[in-house]
Homo-oligomer: A and B are copies of this chain.
């Protein structure tokens, strides 16, 4: 096998090439590389940690659930059905032969991922977690598959063991408001599990009457909250109750992702009227949009009251390819970003709540244009606003550099959220956080090399970005459990 190109991780990877900058970057990185991981926003199912069942195979762990990976194979002509996407969960684990074929497809197309963070993370995982030393290819696919599969069969690769090995101190999940959070309770009450796994309140579907399931969801909300949602006041009270329930179960934030972040308020009378019409299935599309924008403002009001950090992840055209959605469902790779606008959209919300003591609003974007134009200027004035780290398509080395370059000059570092991985790819968590630490070290080293920042200050900043910034922005400094 020695003829095959090897896979290894260079200790200087992602550091700027200039030797002077690189020297400083190495020193800064040394101070942060071993710090525990704080992951204040992500999509790992908490049930993986409660059940602690071994992962079945490389494909089900590293390919199928990760639309970052599957979408590029799809672009290369591989049907999602060949990757295990959209399988009926009742059908049991992916048959070994199918899993192996999918794995081969990935390895054969390894060249397609050149220059992407997906490849960077996967290489990091293959080497660091599984000890793989061969570059993936058609020739090496089976060998690598077998090596990972063998590892996954051992106790050292069960979810909890990996959680400990990854050095995760806090892991936030993303949860439906009607979720009973039993898994979170179970983890909290389990003396053998010492990590902190907290839920996140994600109410999007309950705030958009235009979604087909809205009426059913609002009915369910009534049941779960034990508050009648037949009228607008009850609906608000039920949402408030579920938020409190999440707070009691350790949640520190509520996450929102709509097509835009407009927040024009309605009068209570008008809001109640549209709510009634929507419950009767008679709200117009324009009324549904107006109601959703109004409710985003209400979420801010509730955040001022119950303390949940408000985070926004807007401006994505969901399920862009209709046939794919019909066949495979949501979150399989056909979401495409659209232009974002925050300044005008958030003005009503910020004029009311922007200086409310303790209110935190973390703004994420995939549309890079708004970093220097809108997000940094907003966070540079409002004590409530934080600029969120690059997310999704722009959670990538050069995009992260552009982000620091675009926001630092207007807000420095203290008003940025710290890194979030936002991932459902559990094994990529260490690689993603390490990537962010390397890039921030490199960025700070550049400031030092240009004599814009003293090295002692750069070091303090590098540590703060890992330790303090996410704790501050996401209010994680409260008592643990």
Q: Which residues of A contact B (CB under 8 A)?
A: 5, 10, 12-21, 71-72, 74-77, 111-117, 119-120, 135, 317, 320-324, 333-334, 336-339, 341, 343-344, 347, 350-351, 354-355, 366-369, 372-374, 376-383, 385, 393-394, 396-399, 402, 405-406, 408-415, 446-447, 449-454, 456-457, 460-461
Q: How far is the CA of A398 from the CA of B409 in the complex (A)?
A: 8
Chain B residues, CB < 8 A from A14? 450-452
Known: A412-B113, A412-B116. A381 touches B71 (CB 8 A): yes
Contact: B20 with A334, CB < 8 Å?
no
Known: A75-B382, A397-B452. A323 touches B341 (CB 8 A): no
Known: A322-B351, A347-B317, A350-B320. A15 touches B450 (CB 8 A): yes
17 contacts between A and B (CB under 8 A): A10-B451, A13-B452, A14-B451, A17-B446, A17-B449, A19-B20, A77-B383, A111-B457, A114-B413, A114-B461, A320-B381, A322-B351, A336-B343, A339-B369, A367-B373, A368-B369, A393-B409
Contact: A13 with B451, CB < 8 Å?
yes
Chain B residues, CB < 8 A from A453? 114-115
Chain B residues, CB < 8 A from A449? 17
Known: A76-B414, A460-B111. A343 touches B337 (CB 8 A): yes
Q: Give me 11 other A-B pairs in contact (C-beta within 8 A), A72-B411, A115-B447, A376-B393 excluded.
A: A10-B451, A17-B446, A75-B380, A111-B412, A114-B447, A119-B412, A339-B369, A368-B372, A372-B394, A397-B450, A397-B452
Least Cβ–Cβ distance between A357 and chain B, in angstroms: 9
Q: Which of B338, B380, B405 contacts A72 (CB 8 A)?
A: B380
User: Copies of this chain, how many?
Assistant: 3
Most buried by B among A10, A119, A393, A396: A393
Contact: B339 with A341, CB < 8 Å?
yes
Q: How far is the CA of A405 from the CA of B344 in the complex (A)?
A: 29
Q: How far is the CA of A324 from the CA of B355 in the complex (A)?
A: 10
Closest-by-CB residue of B relative to A110 is: B457
Q: How far is the CA of A117 from the CA of B13 in the complex (A)?
A: 29
Contact: B372 with A451, CB < 8 Å?
no
Contact: A337 with B71, CB < 8 Å?
no
Chain B residues, CB < 8 A from A15? 450
Q: Which of B115, B320, B377, B415 contacts A413 (CB 8 A)?
A: B115
Closest-by-CB residue of B relative to A384 is: B75
Least Cβ–Cβ distance between A435 and chain B, in angstroms: 10
Contact: B117 with A409, CB < 8 Å?
yes
Contact: A410 with B17, CB < 8 Å?
no
Least Cβ–Cβ distance between A378 and chain B, in angstroms: 6
Chain B residues, CB < 8 A from A411? 72, 75, 116
Contact: B355 with A366, CB < 8 Å?
no
Known: A17-B450, A18-B18. A457 touches B338 (CB 8 A): no
Least Cβ–Cβ distance between A401 and chain B, in angstroms: 9
Contact: A355 with B120, CB < 8 Å?
no
Known: A14-B450, A115-B413. A383 touches B74 (CB 8 A): yes
Q: Which of B77, B369, B412 contacts A115 (CB 8 A)?
A: B412
